[in-house]
Amino acid sequence: SIAPAVLSTLSNGARKGVLLKGGNHLSQLAKVDAIAFDKTGTLTFGRAEVTDLRVREDLEDNEILQAVASIESYSSHPLAEAFVHAAKERSVSISAPDSMESITGNGVRGIYKSKHWIVGKASFVGSGYESFYPDETAQFMEEGKTLVYARDEQGIAAVFAIKDRIREDSKHVISKLKDLGITTIMLTGDSEATGQALAKEAGIDNVITECLPEDKVEQIKRLKDKFGLVGMVGDGINDAPALAIADIGIAMGRGTDVALETADVVLMNDQLSNLPEVVRISKKMTKII
């Protein structure tokens, strides 16, 4: 049986837009030592825009955009939409690629108009990115922009800078959690420079970058050893294993089905600001019991 205090707190939580899948998660929340946050779609809106494009001398911007957006249009990654949107804005038509393959946490590969393309993070597209507009790409990362490189059969063909906005409530939520004595950490597959810039914007002190989905699980284990009781907030398919291994898995309400199913706690309407509130309530409740 569930204690009346727990029941009232659960319904209180639900009214505040926090869905708890059981009473025991409340007592866990009251004791949470650290909370890790995924970056894209959790701390940020997950609605990114292409802000800059640099291409190799022998190529045209729109030619590249057409190939990349056509291949990305078959990806479900939040970044993919940015390319499709950019193509629309420039009236560049997109069409079905000959083939396309997603490589989680890295990017996509595809054939478009008989040409092979590799699109994704620097380490995924391979050598040559270091000398491709190095000063400008460094600047883009400092601005918190994600870099996506495109490689064709001749080498690096283009680099896109993509900017996602930090949620308005991220900063406030992080500072409230700090007040409650909870350590906050950002986990991201993005580069060191971009991750650091965005963490600074959100007021997060600890950043773990270049994390593949399987690394996120390892990192949660490490955080448990270091801090004790660890929560993880995420939205994506690639966050699900980390949500499962955390002491408390917390999903964004508009996240993917797998994230919602795996999590113990759901933040309805993507309202991050409900998180410190429910922690506060759970602390109060455990005092009552």
Indicate if 98 belongs to the active site.
no
How crowded is residue 89: how many other Cβ atoms within 10 Å of its Cβ? Answer: 11
Angle at 96 between CA 94 and CA 101, to 5 degrees: 115
> How many residues appear in the chain?
289
Can you name the residues that pair with 162 across neighbouring β-strands? 50, 146
DSSP 163-179: E-PBPTTHHHHHHHHHH
Question: Closest separation between CB of residue 256 and ligand ADP, Å?
Answer: 12
Applying CB under 6 A, which of residues 189, 231, 241, 253 lies at the interface with ligand ADP?
189
Write the interaction track for ligand ADP spanning residues 91-110; mark x where CB under 6 A is met and - where it is not. --------------xxxx--
Nearer to ligand ADP, 179 or 192 (CB): 192
**Which residue in 38, 152, 190, 270 is the catalytic one?**
38
Distance of CA 40 to the CA centre of its chain: 2
Write the interaction track for ligand ADP spanning residues 233-262; mark x where CB under 6 A is met and - where it is not. -----x------------------------
**Contact assessment for residue 250 and residue 264, using Cβ atoms and an 8 Å cutoff:** yes
Using CA atoms, how far apart are residues 192 and 72, in angstroms rounded to an integer?
A: 24
Question: Closest separation between CB of residue 41 and Mg ion, Å?
Answer: 4
Applying CB under 6 A, which of residues 29, 55, 67, 77 lies at the interface with ligand ADP?
77
Residues at the site binding ligand ADP, with contacts judged by CB under 6 A = 38-40, 72, 75, 77, 79-80, 105-108, 119-121, 146, 148, 188-190, 238
